[in-house]
Amino acid sequence: MQDQENTQEKQHQTQQEIVAKLTKLYCQQDSIGEEIKEIKKEAKAVGYKPALLAKVAKAMANAKTSELLQQSEELQSIIEEVRS
C-alpha cells in the first residue's frame, strides 16, 4: 500500500513538473508570436512583403531553402505557361 502511494506521488510530481515545463514553453511561444508580429509590422512599414520574408525565414530555420527555391521555380514555370 505504501509503495503504491509513493508511486502515485512520484507520478503526480512528474505530472506537475511536466505541466510546469509546458506552461513555461507556451508562455514563451506566445511571447515569440508577439515578437514575430512586431517584426512583420516593421517589415511592412518599410515596404517589404512580410509573408514572403516569413516564408524565407521559416525555410532557412528548417534548412529547406533548396525546396523553397524549387517550388518558386515550379510556380514561375506554371505562371509562364498559363500566360502564353
Which tens digits make up the pLDDT trace of 27-76?
A: 999 999 999 999 999 999 999 999 999 988 988 888 888 998 998 899 89
pTM of the model: 0.61
> Rounded to the nearest 10 degrees, what angle do helices 50-61 and 2-45 cross at?
140
CA distance 1 to 53: 60
**CA geometry: angle 49, 43, 80, nearest 5 deg:** 15
CB 68 within 8 A of CB 78: no
Q: Which set of grid coordinates corresponds to residue 69?
A: 527555391
Give the chain's length: 84
